[in-house]
């Protein structure tokens, strides 16, 4: 029997983007409001899981051709590298700094190196969740 | 700030990440692992030397001062354990090159070894009790993977037990830290020590101390919490068992040392007496197990239990000499357990079984393996020129000084039982009529013997060169016996 899930697929195409944007919002505002890398990463992977539910594993692999294990490694590397960056400035490991540069178009923004560390967390969470779900989904 | 303190911790972490990127290139994985171990051994050696010359080194992560941020503390005990752990795991990885098989190598075996080392070294170096928990988890999660990697039936069964026990003990650890935090309001070990001293360890803190003893006892396999260890360590391949036997239980023992010499030392008649009895029973149980089995791996596993008991008793003899003996025995035991498990691994490769009754006469075709095993066994039992002797001698002497005659008697009898149990392996496997002809042997020892030879040389050096090592160990014991040295160098008061 052929299942017709047109409604699910159409809604997913719209909703997945909203969830992804929300996850990026959570990631960026984590410094001042609730949110951050962990919950942002979980939210992003929930968008990917929704797409997995609406379509199938193969299609998603074609659309998003990432090896999620490499994403874990990249995230870990970014997190450790931000820590190591402090060695260059002769301060202890994981010392973070911040500034309020004036960016064209955005005005004055506050940028902290802690968000680079958070980016690492974000990538690791996305990578781990998707690796778990894909591996369980594929095994017979 | 001193980067030398944190580099031994970061290098295995970075190596692990690089190995994740190289997951399809086994050759590169091996080269990167070896290079990182060599660099790390050099750095830890420099760290030991630095601490010995300039006193305790600290590294305040994120530039936050001590009680507020996480601080890494390298005193002599921690840095010597880091050095030993690095050397032993280096040899285990060298052994794994020839024995682990491509099935495991292709699934990130070396990366997980690096993460395991990260956890072990982090647990040795940290000066924060919750950070200790985090590093315990880093170490345990890698050990879960290493114990199950390969997916044979026995590994699957034993990993379920192992994970169950460790998840429960980790939950207890969190609860204990929660209690401690609500009573004292701090997590930094030096600050905790000050706060506990101020209130003089009332009943509630003694309860928390016992909770910590249960937690670390579960990790370090002391009586009556050792029940998971014999079957779990039986499951993984020899290289992994050697790594576990040499490192994992010792982290639990180290944590007991740290907590009961730095934090909970005000109610010694209760806590330390309890630890003493548990240590004695641990030795007895270990001896019974080591004598009872006729399986090589089981005998060696019960020898781990015996050694944990012997080392642990040093906490009860809180004199500097007793602690010196314990630390010496701890370092010796990490090295010699690594050696013995690797040699037993080579025997298992040759015969294809770990049952003593099915082998014999190995010395005819493998004389080097045989005599190395012989030297390792007498080093384990504590025959004078070798490394096991000094630790036990110091323990015996301070046991007699503090009139712990039961301990002295049990230690001496246990040495005999240890010698009997490993000599039984030697006589049954290497003497007698050969059971297997050259064609029937399941594998060759090619490339398997030099990692254990490396460790054996180190063990002999620790015995013969005791003059060089003793001052370091005695200094480490001095720091343990006097918590104020630790507190001053961390809190900088």
Q: Among all residues of chain B, which has the CA nearest to that of A86? A: B62
Q: Torsion angle, CA of B428/B429/B432/B435, rounded to 10 degrees? A: 130
> Sign of torsion, CA A44 B144 B96 B113?
positive
pLDDT band with cut points at 50, 70 and 90 for residue A107:
confident
Best mutation target, B17, B68, B131, to test chain A (most A CBs within 10 A): B17
Q: Which of B1, B13, B20 shows the shortest C-beta gap to A92?
A: B1
Q: What is the dihedral of CA B232, B459, B104, B7, to 10 degrees?
A: 100
Reference B219, options B184, B256, B185, B189; nearest CA is B256
| Interface contact A92-B63, CB threshold 8 A | yes
Q: In Å, how far is B12's CA from the nearest CA of chain A?
A: 12
What residue has token string 């779990």?
A: B232
pLDDT of A98: 85
b (16+ CB within 10 A) / e for B29-68 = bbebbeebbeebbebbbebbebbeeeebbbbbbbeeebbe
Mutate to test the interface with A, among B63, B64, B69, B141 (most CBs of A within 10 A): B63
Specify the residue for token string 């690089």.
B18
Per-residue pLDDT of chain B (493 residues; tens, 9 = 90+): 578 899 999 999 999 999 999 888 889 999 999 999 999 999 999 999 999 999 899 999 888 888 899 999 999 999 999 999 999 999 999 999 988 888 888 888 999 999 999 999 999 999 999 999 999 999 999 999 999 998 889 999 999 999 999 999 999 999 999 999 999 999 999 999 999 999 988 889 999 999 999 999 999 889 889 999 999 998 999 999 999 999 999 999 999 999 999 999 888 889 999 999 999 999 999 999 999 998 999 999 999 999 999 999 988 887 888 899 999 999 999 999 999 999 999 988 888 888 888 888 888 888 899 999 999 999 998 888 888 898 899 999 999 998 889 999 999 999 999 999 999 999 988 888 877 776 677 777 777 889 999 999 999 999 888 889 999 999 999 988 889 999 999 988 6
Consecutive H or E run containing B57? strand B57-60
Coil, helix or strand for B231?
helix
pLDDT of residue B101: 83
Q: In A, which residues are within 8 Å of B13 by CB distance?
A: 80
Burial class (CB in 10 A: 0-12, 13-18, 19+), A116: middle
3-state secondary structure of B354: coil
Please check whether residue B60 touches A, CB under 8 A: yes
Closest-approach residue (CA) in chain A for B18:
A73
CA distance B13 to chain A (A): 8
B6: chain A residues, CB-CB within 8 Å: 92-93
Chain A contact for B23 (CB, 8 A cutoff) = yes
Element (H, E) at B11: helix B3-21
- CB contact under 8 Å between B62 and A93, yes or no, is yes
Whose tokens are 């060696």? That residue is: B300
- Check residue B390 and give left, alpha or beta (phi > 0: left; psi -120 to 50: alpha): alpha
Give the A-side interface with B, CB within 8 Å.
Answer: 69-70, 72-73, 76-77, 80, 83-84, 87, 90-96
Check CB contact under 8 Å for A76 and B20: yes
Q: How far apart are alpha carbons B84 and B253 in whole angstroms?
A: 15
Out of B20, B23, B59, the one facing A92 most closely (by C-beta) is B59
Q: What digits encode the pLDDT tens for the residues A75-99?
A: 999 999 998 888 888 888 888 888 8
- Chain B hits for A90, CB-CB cut-off 8 Å, are 1
Task: Please state the φ and ψ torsions of residue B126, each to the nearest 5 degrees.
Answer: -70, 155
Mutate to test the interface with A, among B16, B61, B115 (most CBs of A within 10 A): B61
- All residues of chain A having their beta carbon less than 8 Å from the beta carbon of residue B20 are 69-70, 72-73, 76
DSSP state of B259: I
CB–CB contact A92 B62 (8 Å):
yes
Residues of B within 8 A of A73 (CB-CB) are 17, 20-21
Residues B367/B307/B120/A39 CA torsion (nearest 10 deg):
130
Cβ–Cβ gap B60/A92 under 8 Å: yes
Where b means 16+ CB within 10 Å and e means fewer, B286-316 reads: bbebbeebebbbbbbbbbbbbbbbbbbbbbb
pLDDT of A1 > 70? The answer is no
> For testing the chain B interface, which of A68, A73, A84, A139 should be mutated: the one with the most B CBs within 10 Å?
A73
- B43 sits in which H/E element: helix B26-54
Beta-carbon contacts below 8 Å between A and B: 39
Chain A contact for B14, CB < 8 A? yes
Tokens 């990790």 belong to B219
Structure token digits, residue B402 = 């503090």
Q: Is B62 at the interface with chain A, CB within 8 A? A: yes
Residue matched to tokens 């051709």: A65
Q: Looking at CA atoms only, how far is residue B225 from chain A in angstroms? A: 33
Q: Which residue of A has its CA nearest to B10?
A: A80
pLDDT at A126: 95
The DSSP code for B128 is B
DSSP chain A: -----HHHHHHHHHHHHHHHHHHHHHHHHTTTSS--HHHHHHHHHHHHHHHHHHS-HHHHHHHS---HHHHHHHHHHHHHHHHHHHHHTTS-TT---EE--EETTTEE--EETHHHHHHHHHHHHHHHHHHHHHHHHH--
In which band, very low, low, confident or very high, does the pLDDT at A61 lie, cut at 50, 70 and 90?
confident
CA distance linking residue A80 with residue B195, whole number of Å: 33
> Could you say which of A80, A90, A91 has the minimum Cβ distance to residue B17?
A80
Q: Which of B61, B62, B69, B127 to mutate to test the interface with A (most CBs of A within 10 A)?
A: B62
Q: What percentage of chain A exceeds 90 in pLDDT? A: 47
Distance from CA of B176 to the nearest CA of A (A): 26
C-alpha to C-alpha distance for B394 and A94, rounded to whole angstroms: 42
CB–CB contact A84 B10 (8 Å)? yes
ipTM: 0.91
Which residue is it, tokens 């040392």? B257
For residue B3, give the nearest of A70, A80, A87 by CB distance: A87
Q: Alpha helix (H) ranges present in B233-366?
A: 238-258, 268-292, 296-316, 320-351
């Amino acid at each position: 029997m052929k299942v017709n899930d047109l409604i699910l697929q159409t809604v997913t195409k719209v909703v997945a983007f909203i969830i992804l944007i929300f996850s990026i919002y959570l990631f960026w505002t984590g410094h001042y409001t609730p949110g951050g890398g962990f919950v942002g990463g979980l939210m992003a992977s929930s968008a990917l899981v929704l797409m997995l539910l609406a379509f199938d594993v193969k299609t998603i692999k074609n659309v998003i051709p990432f090896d999620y294990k490499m994403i874990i490694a990249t995230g870990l590397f970014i997190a450790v590298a931000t820590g190591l960056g402090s060695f260059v400035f002769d301060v202890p490991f994981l010392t973070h700094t911040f500034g309020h540069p004036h960016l064209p178009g955005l005005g004055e923004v506050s940028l902290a190196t802690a968000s680079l560390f958070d980016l690492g967390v974000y990538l690791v969470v996305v990578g781990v969740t998707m690796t778990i779900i894909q591996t369980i989904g594929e095994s017979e | 700030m001193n980067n030398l303190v944190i580099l031994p911790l970061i290098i295995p972490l970075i190596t692990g990440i690089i190995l994740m990127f190289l997951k399809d290139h086994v050759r590169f994985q091996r080269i990167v692992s070896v290079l990182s171990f060599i660099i790390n051994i050099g750095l830890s050696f420099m760290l030991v030397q630095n601490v010995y010359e300039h006193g305790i080194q600290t590294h305040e992560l994120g530039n936050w001062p001590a009680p507020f941020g996480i601080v890494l503390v390298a005193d002599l005990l921690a840095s010597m354990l880091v050095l030993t752990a690095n050397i032993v795991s280096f040899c285990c990885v060298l052994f794994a090159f020839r024995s682990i098989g491509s099935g495991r190598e292709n699934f990130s075996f070396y990366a997980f070894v690096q993460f395991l080392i990260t956890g072990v070294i982090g647990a040795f170096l940290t000066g924060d009790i919750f950070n200790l928990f985090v590093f315990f988890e880093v170490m345990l999660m890698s050990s879960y993977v290493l114990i199950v990697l390969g997916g044979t039936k026995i590994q699957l069964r034993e990993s379920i037990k192992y994970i169950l026990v460790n998840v429960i003990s980790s939950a207890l650890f969190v609860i204990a830290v929660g209690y401690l935090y609500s009573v004292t309001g701090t997590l930094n070990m030096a600050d905790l020590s000050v706060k506990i001293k101020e209130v003089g360890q009332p009943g509630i803190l003694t309860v928390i101390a016992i909770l910590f003893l249960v937690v670390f006892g579960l990790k370090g396999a002391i009586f009556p919490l050792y029940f998971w260890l014999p079957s779990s360590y039986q499951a993984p391949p020899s290289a992994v068992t050697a790594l576990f036997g040499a490192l994992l239980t010792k982290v639990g023992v180290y944590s007991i040392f740290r907590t009961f010499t730095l934090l909970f030392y005000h109610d010694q008649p209760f806590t330390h007496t309890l630890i003493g009895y548990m240590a004695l029973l641990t030795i007895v149980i270990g001896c019974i197990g080591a004598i009872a089995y006729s399986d090589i791996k089981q005998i060696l596993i019960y020898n781990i239990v015996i050694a944990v008991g012997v080392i642990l008793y040093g906490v009860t003899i809180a004199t500097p000499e007793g602690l010196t003996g314990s630390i010496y025995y701890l370092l010796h035991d990490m090295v010699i357990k690594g050696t013995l498990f690797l040699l037993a691994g080579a025997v298992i490769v040759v015969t294809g079984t770990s049952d003593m009754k099915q082998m014999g006469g190995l010395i005819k075709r493998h004389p080097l393996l045989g005599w190395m095993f012989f030297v390792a066994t007498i080093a384990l039992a504590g025959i004078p020129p070798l490394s096991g002797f000094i630790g036990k001698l110091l323990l015996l002497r301070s046991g007699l000084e503090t009139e712990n005659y039961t301990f002295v008697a049990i230690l001496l009898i246990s040495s005999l039982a240890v010698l009997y149990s490993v000599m039984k392996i030697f006589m049954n496997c290497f003497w007698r009529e050969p059971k297997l002809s050259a064609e029937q042997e399941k594998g060759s020892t090619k490339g398997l013997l030099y990692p254990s030879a490396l460790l054996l040389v180190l063990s002999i050096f620790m015995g013969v060169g005791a003059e060089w090592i003793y001052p370091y160990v005695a200094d480490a014991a001095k720091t343990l016996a006097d918590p104020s040295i630790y507190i001053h160098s961390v809190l900088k008061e």
